[in-house]
Chain A
Amino acid sequence: MEILMSILAGTLFAAGVYLLLQKQLLKIVLGTALISHGAHLFILTMGKLNRGKPPILVKGIEDYTDPLPQALILTSIVISFGVTSFLLVLAYRTYQSNKTDMMDQLRGTDDE
């Protein structure tokens, strides 16, 4: 299962990177969202999958799933949410100000 999930994480990453390389701002934002999904899955697979009970202490149970990756991912989910929403609004504002959302038209002037 871990190997399958690693492949899935790789696939999400590949799709995300492909989108990042596109010209349209929208696609780039979508790409970052996909990449964060991939990264979360990647971290989760690092600890073993499906070992023991969910990490909530119950009397009499000794064996729990690794809680550390989960804590890290939780932080990461929230941060990637912040980043994605920031990027979205940035894309929106860029389009408002420049009337284009194509990266190659947003390069700035030569004399900069």
Chain B
Amino acid sequence: MLHIYILIPFLAALVIGLAAKKVSRIHTGWFVLPVPAILFIMFCLKLPVLAEGKIVQSVADWIPSLDIQLSFYLDGLSMLFSLLITGIGALVVLYSIFYLSRKEQLVHFYVYLLLFMGSMLGVVLSDNVFVLYTFWEFTSISSFLLIGFWFYRDRSTYGAQKSMLITVFGGLSMLGALILMSNTAETNSIRVMIANRSDILESDLFVPILILLLVGAFTKSAQFPFHSWLPDAMEAPTPVSAYLHSATMVKAGLYLVARFSLIFSGSDVFFILVSGIGLITLCLGSFLASRQTDLKGILAYSTISQLGMIMAMLGFGTGVAILAAIFHIFNHATFKGSLFMIAGIVDHETGTRDIRRLGGLYTFMPISATLAFIGAFSMAGVPLPIFNGFLSKEMFFDSSLKLGQTTGFAGMFAEWIPIIAVLGSIFTFVYSMYLVFGTFMGKSNVKQLEKKPHEAPIGMLLSPIILVVFVILVGLLPNLINEPILAPAAAAVTGDLAITHLQFWHGLNAPFYMSLLVIGIGAVLAFTLKKWQPVYNRIPGKFSSDHWYQFMLNGLLKSSKIITGFLMTGSHRLYLSIILLFMVISTSVFMYFTDGFKISFDDLAPITWPEVLIGLVMAVAAIATILMTQRIAAIIVIGVVGYGLSLLFVFFRAPDLALTQLIVETITVALFLLCFAHLPALKKSDKKPSEKLVDFILASSTGALLTIVAVSSHSSKSFETISKYFVDNSYKLGGGDNIVNVILVDFRGLDTLFEIAVLGLAALGIYAMIKYRDKGDMNH
């Protein structure tokens, strides 16, 4: 069943891609809209099943030999993400219908969006780690395509490339972790890994596995120090930023950490890394958000910071923290989604996203402004019972205070966490206020704007309105979503179902005082922001990860240019030398260390003089080929080698070979003679003695290697030959007395068929080269 859920977006992408151009009068988005909407309903219908504590699963074989199955399962955590992917997806598609004009490449846009939707569903539903990885990379690719949607803008392609490089780097690191885990636990199924978690926990590779996996999660979720791709990804159309870069894809990293936290939680390394990086990201993101001037830039850094906060809570690992993290994943999708959409509306209706040029828009677009205020207040955690963001932020403070019981280094670290949490939240408050007050309040400079601002059409407002309704509804009645959605999701992360009743008022306790502190200091900082501007701008620069990204990218380009310049000189002699040198060194080192060289004098054929003589003549002739200065002489000596070889074949009882070799040698010599007549005379080599010496050493060591391999393969017998089979069955199965012939045309008939194909190709090539030469010359 679940396969169909994942397949639907992909099929829709195919249909839209092929058919949509035919109906150009209607916006393509209208055809896409039903896909996430229907999927959302289909997922909702599964909610009662999950409420009973069951899970939905389905399995199909994909690559059975590697134990890779398309096995999907839907538990509380997957359900939460699936609902976000399809629900926000539907709203974003609806919004995009009004945001993107019909002149854009709509088919491309919606195909990419549907691809993303399908892959993201694949990520959150996969049980097999390698299937998960495959879908994971698909999301990176579709994100790349969507960021670069306006590919003619330099900043779009730059942002697309940056996000691709960083997230795919993380994806590869995650693949490493998954391979290690699947080797350690001897299974590819996430659920079996969790069931046998001690295999991974007690393995020597535990720390490498953890770090590699977290690098994957941190790059995807834009955690410090990999966060710098997200602000540049804002070059994507706003619906994409709202969908991929705020509500869903960037949460894939959170999903990964949550999914595997049953294995890792309880380990100090996990706690310190995940909480530590999460808190750093929370503070850094919210601090950097307050000095942005682009509306979407503020939202991008704010997303980074909020993701950091959720990451930190996942790291805490306590029941309250996990529930708060899950709750905040949901809340963040609602308020941030609506804020992005409002930012898009402002951009659309005024022509700019620069907050310094905006202001006083409240009078022109009151509905958008109201929506933005609710979203931003929820994000800032203003203590009113209509803001869902306040509830989850309160739970964040609460869980940060309850970590005292940890001991050792982790315990020392835990004591500082509430302070860092408050610090990060102060800046969250600052940028939230800055965002809405800067845009909608204060002095209006409408005259400087390109367009006269006015309220957006109702279709565009519909999606943010729905999201804001959720903000308020969940703020008022958090338990509405608690039992059916949040509790099963938290249960999937912590392992046991414990329904905590969510409520607005907890009394005058520590978390509430922390909130008040945040608002007090935050308000002072927010309304004196202009005075602090110089201070904000002084920090980062050389230490920013953006700087490091550029540095590494330039280094990579430079060094690959140097390497290419060094290797790709166009000299075939250099290429050959490298290949031969590698072959000689690697083979001989391998033989040396594995005791590969053997020589045995038993069981050798007796030495007879005629054969030795022929061999000597051949050797002399071969060396003479090098020294010949006359073309005709060179052909003759190479003929000597060939005919000598056919004589050897006669002595070694290979009549067919001898005959074939004779014919082929004759034709070859004739061919050589034909061609040589048209070729210039042999020139004396103008090489320096040192070059000649290098050639000589390379040639003789290759020859020596071949001799050694021949001798040792002849001297060691690892297994019985299969030749007896051919001798026994040549007549019985092939009906022929000549065993070699039977092998060629019967037992290994396909080989011979391809051999004929090779000859045919060579003949065609030769024909073409001779026949079409005039045409080629004309082109020059």
Chain A residues within 8 Å of B, Cβ to Cβ: 1-27, 30, 33-34, 37-38, 40-42, 44-58, 64-68, 70-71, 73-75, 77-79, 81-86, 88-93, 95-97, 101-104, 107-108
Contacts and interface: CB of A to CB of B under 8 A. Distances in A.
Interface of chain A, main secondary structure: helix
B680 interface: yes
Interface in B48-91: none
Given A3-B604, A45-B714, A74-B656, A21 B769 contact: no
A56 B696 contact: no
B516 interface: no
B396 to A, nearest CB: 59
A74 B660 contact: yes
Contact of A1 (B577, B608, B649): B608
Given A6-B714, A78-B759, A85 B766 contact: yes
B557 interface: no
A81 B577 contact: no
B713 interface: yes
Nearest to B644: A37
A104 B766 contact: no
Contacts of A49: 605, 652
B576 A84 contact: no
Nearest to A99: B680
A84 B571 CA distance: 21
Contacts of A102: 683
B572 interface: yes
Contacts of B151: none
Interface string B642-653: 100100110111
B730 interface: yes
B576 A21 contact: yes
B707 A7 contact: yes
B678 interface: yes
B675 interface: yes
B612 interface: yes
A102 B166 CA distance: 46
Q: Which of A4, A64, A67, A83 has the most CB of B within 10 A?
A: A67
B758 interface: yes
Given A34-B641, A37-B645, A78-B660, A2 B668 contact: no
A81 B710 contact: no
Contact of A71 (B622, B696, B743): B743
B737 A56 contact: yes
Contact of B706 (A13, A20, A96, A103): A13
Interface string B400-421: 0000000000000000000000
A90 B660 CA distance: 24
A74 B653 contact: no
Given A21-B698, A55-B727, A81-B667, A10 B748 contact: no
B702 A17 contact: yes
Given A5-B710, A9-B710, A10-B710, 9 more contacts: A13-B702, A24-B683, A34-B641, A37-B641, A44-B649, A67-B727, A73-B654, A82-B761, A85-B766
A103 B573 contact: yes
A42 B769 contact: no
A23 B664 CA distance: 26
A8 B615 CA distance: 7
15 contacts: A11-B622, A11-B703, A18-B626, A18-B699, A21-B699, A30-B638, A37-B641, A46-B714, A47-B723, A50-B606, A64-B739, A71-B744, A74-B744, A75-B752, A104-B571
Interface stretch (B29-37, B104-112, B443-451, B772-780): B772-780
A41 B619 CA distance: 12
B726 to A, nearest CB: 5
Contacts of B727: 55, 64, 67
Contacts of A16: 622
A41 to B, nearest CB: 7
A97 to B, nearest CB: 7
A9 B769 contact: no
A50 B606 CA distance: 9
Nearest to A3: B711
Contact of B726 (A18, A67, A86): A67
Interface in B674-732: 675-676, 678-680, 682-683, 685, 687, 695-696, 698-700, 702-707, 710-711, 713-714, 721-723, 726-727, 730-731
A26 B770 contact: no
Given A10-B710, A26-B631, A107-B570, A71 B703 contact: no
